[in-house]
Structure 1
Amino acid sequence: MIQLFNLNSKNILITGATGVLGKSIAQYLQKQGANVFLLGRNEQKLQLVKKEMTGSGKAEVLQADVTKEEDLRQAVEKLKGMTDRLDVMINMAGGNMPGAVIGPEQTLEDLSSDAVDKVMKLNYQGTLLPIKIFLSLLNSGQLASIINVSSVAADRPLTRVLGYAAAKAGIENLTKWLAVELAQKYGAHLRVNAVAPGFFLTEQNRNLLTINEKELSPRGEQILAHTPMARFGEPDDLHGAFHWLSSDASKFVTGTVVSVDGGFKAYSGV
């Protein structure tokens, strides 16, 4: 049983590694003995995350914008100088922005098309491009797992949130498409799954869900009223799902989306 979940010496690439959730997952996996490669746009922030790593595995930094192929090609060449394989790839990079969200007093006519394009590109292209560029290291012939990050918004559209929800729906479709494509073209050693987090307090949604970080906003109250476990997720609530999908315990699992949402998607409201 222990061997099934063993991550010791697995090489794991994590995009979006400087965010609250990406950083937490990276730190956890490194403590399990995995070698983690932290990828993000900001070199300084990446180095700070690396400095805080206290696990037994290695930690290395790769600076790149996940929406820019040239950045990613330079990053993969740097990574090839460190290792000849990747065992796991976790696509944490993503996010939202104000213009792609309709304000409480706004309508569809106020939506910024440019902001929606940027959100779609960051989330969808920012997942697809890294997989495309790093595929050669994942396709080493050994078991390899690609883990994308979706959202409860993918199939439960949230009021006011358009671009982000559409992008995450696209990621779930992409995950299933890749699961079939890679297994049929390269072999059953390549798996692709996704994790769909519920509501976690991060840099991007804290102001929407709380008031001055001390009390719930009306939207935050409404969300918790529709979450059977009646709380927001904590970063460590995601560790188990990512550990399982990174390990050989899930070696016959592909094309699946794992919800970690406190029951939000299961609740009909009545």
Structure 2
Amino acid sequence: MHSSFSLEDKVIIVTGATGVLGHSFVNGLAEAGAIVGVLGRNEAVANERAEEILKKGGKAIALIADVQNEAQLLAARDLVLKTYGRIDGLVNGAGGNRPDGILQPDENIFKLNVDGMKEVMDLNLWGTLLPTQVFGESLTENGGSIVNISSMSAQRALSKVMGYSLAKAAVDAYTRWFAVELANRYQDKVRMNAIAPGFFLTDQNRALLTKEDGGYTQRGQLVLNQTPFKRFGHPDELIGALIWLLSDASKFVTGTVVNVDGGFIVNSGV
């Protein structure tokens, strides 16, 4: 029996596929039957992850591109269309923080590193918008779904990460705005939603949240205190929401942000 959650033979592009969360994304989508476009800047890792999927009997293609480079994205799109003839889904997984986008507690709040903040904004906001511009129009032919990656910092004020917070709040606004415009033009044919992960250990935040001996830093412990589940998430725990949003099981869902956070957002701390 056909499942509405099936991604069988759907061609889905994943940006940021060479990162920690991206690794889980591409593997989870391949296991759900998708043909996965493994897109990232690191050619060796992209090829390795695509090959890993192929060895397991899945379908994948490595796509080498920077999400802020339109020419590279266009070349990746053309390769996908030449190889498979269509694109059915896009996961805007590329993003992250930068040291210059962080405001430390002892720094002057009126002496912000504006260039550093802009750099983080460019990566997260324009690195979401530009791939949508390049890959999204192909979805209008046969229908499809776009999933952006948001953050807890878009909804709650988290110390230090000002640039990242601004960027992800903008991604949420873009998700809602563009979802409405897609619907106005294509009705239910193309949808856009977002996933807001809670705290998952990645290469970028591991040193901020954990110690070398396996314990937690002060910031890590504060996060756990605010998280009712009292643990960090595992990247694979994002796959269920991702498959749902990309599949026909969510075909009446658009413009929403799905929290996958162990209860972080809803906890008052009292």
> TM-score, normalising length from structure 2?
0.95
Q: Deviations over 1:54-97 (max 9, x none)?
A: 44431101111101112212221222211222111100000001
8 A contact 1:10–1:35 mirrored in 2: yes
Task: Provide the residue aligned with 2:164 in structure 1.
Answer: 164
1:203 and 2:179 equivalent?
Answer: no
Q: Does structure 2 retain, via aligned residues, the 8 Å contact 1:102–1:110?
A: no
Match of 1:225 in 2: 225
Partner residue in 2 for 1:120: 121
- Deviations 1:25-82, CA, capped at 9 Å, x for gaps: 1011101211000111121121121122244431101111101112212221222211
Per the TM alignment, residue 213 of structure 1 is displaced from its structure 2 partner at its CA by 5.8
Answer yes or no: is the 8 Å Cα contact 1:31–1:55 preserved in 2: no
- In structure 1, stretches of 5+ residues that fail to align are none
- Secondary structure of 2:259's match? strand
Tell me by how many angstroms 1:227 deviates: 0.3
Q: How far 1:178 sits from its partner (Å)?
A: 0.9
1:66·1:130 contact (CA, 8 Å) conserved in 2? Answer: yes
For the residues of structure 2 that align with 1:185 and 1:55, how far apart are their CA atoms? Answer: 39
* Residues 81, 87 of structure 2: 8 Å contact kept: no
Percent of aligned positions that are identical = 48
Kindly provide the CA deviation profile for residues 146-190 of structure 1, in whole angstroms up to 9, marking residues without a partner as x.
000000110102011101011100001100111111111233210
1:23 counterpart residue number = 23
Q: 1:213 to 1:248 in 2, by over 3 A?
A: farther
Aligned residue pairs total 269
Q: C-alpha separation between the residues in 1 aligned to 2:57 and 2:44?
A: 23
User: Judging changes above 3 Å, is the alpha-carbon distance between structure 1 residues 46 and 109 closer, same or farther for their aligned structure 2 residues?
Assistant: same
CA contact (8 A) 1:209 1:220 kept: yes
Letter in 2 for 1:239: I
SS at structure 2 position matched to 1:3: coil
Structure 2's unaligned 5+ residue stretches are none
- Of 204-213 and 176-185, deviating more is 204-213
- The answer to whether the aligner puts 1:257 opposite 2:257 as a matched pair is yes
Query: What SS does structure 1 have at the residue aligned with 2:265?
Result: helix
Aligned partner of 1:44 in structure 2 is: 44
The AA in structure 1 aligned to 2:128 is T
Q: TM-score, structure 1 length as denominator?
A: 0.95
1:183 corresponds to 2:192 = no
Aligned CA RMSD, in angstroms, stands at 1.4
Q: For residues 179-218 of structure 1, give each alpha carbon's deviation from its aligned partner in whole angstroms, at most 9, with x where no partner exists.
A: 1111112332100000000100001111111122611000
Match of 2:150 in 1: 150
Indicate whether 1:89 and 2:84 are aligned. no
> Shift of residue 268 of structure 1?
1.1
- Kept in 2, the 8 Å contact 1:24–1:235? The answer is yes
